[in-house]
Amino acid sequence: MGRKPRVGSRAWEESLVNSPMYARNTILDLAKRAEGGSKEAVENLSLWLEKYPGMRALVRELDDLATKVERAWVQRLCGTDELSRKAVEDDLAAMKAELLGPAPSVADKILVGTVLVANLGYQRAALAASLPTDRPEVRAAREKLLSGAQKRLQDALRGWELHAGKKARGLRPRGKLKLFEPEAVA
């Protein structure tokens, strides 16, 4: 067995590059500097993420747009309640995994994102409608908001179900398939 390099030596510094903890800390530091507008940090961050693609999830700014929208809705729904936030995020992850399945297409991801965001909007409207109020106009506005959110959720689910059904059936012709018709040749 080789000896560990002495702390602070050149060999020790070179060994840090292979340490997952060092890579994690470096990526987080570069992300913070890149957020501040450093072009050099953006370039270095890209290099580090090429070497450690599994750590891409640490940099929230690289999330796709649907994930950012979901996170904004979760924040809006839960506020500062961390326990609720965790529960909602876990529910979303489970729904997303169930709806996407293995090897999802881009259309699958878009439609599932639409369903998840519509569901979050519906949950928020239902929460608002459940709050007590003495003013009939507030109650009516909340009910209208809830009805609109419910319709958007139904539309999103209908679109996803239509797409999933077509995908499950595959590309089959409607009629009986004939490979050869002798009368047509003559």
CB count in 10 Å sphere of residue 154:
12
pLDDT at residue 186 tops 60: no
Which positions ≥6 away from 99 have C-beta within 8 Å?
108, 112, 115, 160
pLDDT tens digit sequence for 22-37? 888 888 888 888 878 8
Categorize the per-residue pLDDT at 125 as very low, low, confident or very high, splitting at 50, 70 and 90: very high
pLDDT at residue 149 tops 90: yes
d(CA 176, CA 173) in angstroms, rounded, equals 7
d(CA 75, CA 145) in angstroms, rounded, equals 19
